[in-house]
Amino acid sequence: MGKHHEDNYRLNHPDFHPLDQGLDRRNFLQKTAMGLGAAALQVLLGGHSLQAKSIQDQILESLPKIAPKAKRVVYLFMSGGPSQFETFDYKPNLKNMFGEGLPDSVRKGQRLTGMSANQAVLPIVPSLYNFKQYGQNRTWVSELLPYTAQVADELCVIKSMYTEQINHDPAITFFQTGHQLPGRPSIGSWLSYGLGSENQNLPAFIVMVSKNASKDQPLYSRLWGNGFLPSEHQGVQFRSSKDPVLYLNNPEGYDGEDRREMLEYLKKLNQAQNQTWADPEVEARISQYEMAFRMQTSVPEVMDVSTEPDEVFDLYGPGSRDKGTFAANCLLARKLLEKDVRFVQLYHQGWDHHDALPKNIITQCKQTDQATAALIQDLKRRGMLEDTLVVWGGEFGRTVYSQGKLSANGYGRDHHPKCFSMWMAGAGVKPGSYGETDDFSYNILKDPVHVHDFHATMLHLLGINHEELIFKSQGRRFRLTDVHGKVVKGLLS
């Protein structure tokens, strides 16, 4: 019920303001009357008549002692499950096994999806595309990603990711919320809740979905939902249409002053309601209205790319002038990160290549490759790659065998959760390659990284002990990593 549990990370959150401002004790206790924080404070204030300072001091002392490396995150989610064979996981030996059946000793009886489980043979198919090593770390990158290859020295390619889910919906939900079933808060919501927002005029968690991707698998807004966290922490989707945020603008003939006045009265009504019910959702509603009002000016400002020089558009590639494409979204992501937005999530669909993979993956790579590399470069030259974490990856990998008939002009690959590649770059990440898969990229040989471990590591980079960012809901304590996850030290610089 209450929202102030053992959340150690929220010093910048507006709820701490009453505390900061000379401790309006009554107000503060009222607001948090149902939380543990209040009880603790009551003991404190009741026990001793201390000055405001030492209370604040004590709250500060209880903060985590992990120095944060990352201050913001941009997560480029490649929805559909990009094939590791054609991107980062180079398997030269497969060339000699073209068309051979996948040995049972490799598959070990693993359950396949219904799409290929009934296939008589599972013919091995090597990547149609060549690989080369790039940069000081000699990172293998496919020729489909010529721009990413040029920033290879910034990347930490994890080849040994694995997940538990074999189908899109649960796998994406797992990656975004730490649980396969819908209803848990998304990563960005956890961060918004835990770390608050540096920028007071923009939401801490912003989502953009590419318009130029093939929408073979759906996305749904619950992927950036707040779950049981207060609703002000949900991701806000920015769209490419005339109104980037729906219903944000005033109706015609209705000016900002009126709006302000109306919101003041509405706030009073809501506060009166809150006095009776002390429902965190009322507070969330108040703060959302206020955020929306501030966004009326801040959003058009940040979405306006007309002041960006041509050189920037050239960097991000041809699509970047076309609003709503992945490239344009990357450019916007950079602008949002510049404004210290905590978590920017881009989705690019269309990686689900069950058939005609060679042809389709070219399109996907062309849509994303240059802009992804450009984002890294652009952040780097602005000095932001030091404290921004960039993440690229899908929800699972693809199989070594071809789904459907293997023909001269193409092949397809089915879903494969047991190993796949993704990469991180920027703040606190050690560039290079991490983990190893077997010759078939079917099983992990070394350093497996589970989705929970990935989450734990990400939170660690942000200065959060993943075991301590907790929210109690329906009688049980929840974390992004729930009861799992360990920080992968090998990924840290």
Residues 466-485 that bind another protein (CB under 8 A): 467-468
Write the interaction track for another protein spanning residues 57-96; mark x where CB under 8 A is met and - where it is not: xxxxxxx-xxx-x---------------------------
Question: Does residue 463 come out as left (phi exceeding 0), alpha (psi in the -120 to 50 range) or beta?
Answer: left
Q: Does 292 bind another protein (CB under 8 A)?
A: no
Minimum CB distance to another protein smaller for 200 or for 275: 200
CB of 44 to another protein, least distance (A): 6
List the one residue out of 361, 384, 195, 203 whose CA is nearest residue 295.
Answer: 203
CB of 339 to another protein, least distance (A): 7
- The span of 165-173, 207-215, 267-275, 370-378 binding another protein (CB under 8 A) equals 370-378
Minimum CB distance to another protein smaller for 41 or for 112: 41
Minimum CB distance to another protein smaller for 26 or for 65: 65
Minimum CB distance to another protein smaller for 153 or for 169: 153
By CB under 8 A, the residues from 308 to 347 that bind another protein are 315, 339-340
Write the interaction track for another protein spanning residues 11-50; mark x where CB under 8 A is met and - where it is not: xx----x--xxx-------------xx-xxx-xx--xx-x
Minimum CB distance to another protein smaller for 182 or for 358: 358
Instruction: Figure out which of the listed residues 108, 138, 382, 430 binds another protein, where binding follows CB under 8 A.
Output: 382
Instruction: Figure out which of the listed residues 370, 372, 441, 481 binds another protein, where binding follows CB under 8 A.
Output: 370
Instruction: Figure out which of the listed residues 153, 164, 169, 198 binds another protein, where binding follows CB under 8 A.
Output: 198
Minimum CB distance to another protein smaller for 412 or for 417: 412
Instruction: Figure out which of the listed residues 410, 412, 426, 431 binds another protein, where binding follows CB under 8 A.
Output: 410
CB of 97 to another protein, least distance (A): 10
CB of 350 to another protein, least distance (A): 18
CB of 53 to another protein, least distance (A): 4
CB of 159 to another protein, least distance (A): 22
CB of 263 to another protein, least distance (A): 19
For 14, the token pair is 């507006």
By CB under 8 A, the residues from 423 to 452 that bind another protein are 428
By CB under 8 A, the residues from 105 to 164 that bind another protein are 128-130, 143-144, 146-147, 150
Minimum CB distance to another protein smaller for 202 or for 209: 202
Amino acid at 88: F
Q: Measuring CA to CA, how many Å separate 150 from each of 85, 135, 363, 372?
A: 19, 8, 19, 11
Considering CB under 8 A, how many residues would be counted as binding another protein? 78
Write the interaction track for another protein spanning residues 250-289; mark x where CB under 8 A is met and - where it is not: ----------------------------------------
Minimum CB distance to another protein smaller for 126 or for 417: 126
Minimum CB distance to another protein smaller for 170 or for 490: 490
- The owner of tokens 């558009």 is 313
CB of 286 to another protein, least distance (A): 18
Q: Kindly tell me the burial class for residue 61, based on how many C-beta atoms sit within 10 Å of its own C-beta (0-12, 13-18, 19 or more).
A: exposed
Q: Specify which residues 478 forms β-bridges with.
A: 471
Q: Kindly tell me the burial class for residue 25, based on how many C-beta atoms sit within 10 Å of its own C-beta (0-12, 13-18, 19 or more).
A: middle
Q: Measuring CA to CA, how many Å separate 214 from each of 78, 115, 241, 385?
A: 12, 20, 18, 30
Instruction: Figure out which of the listed residues 108, 215, 268, 381 binds another protein, where binding follows CB under 8 A.
Output: 381
Question: Does residue 440 come out as left (phi exceeding 0), alpha (psi in the -120 to 50 range) or beta?
Answer: alpha
CA dist., res. 76 & res. 345, Å (int): 6
Q: Does 8 bind another protein (CB under 8 A)?
A: yes
Minimum CB distance to another protein smaller for 227 or for 428: 428
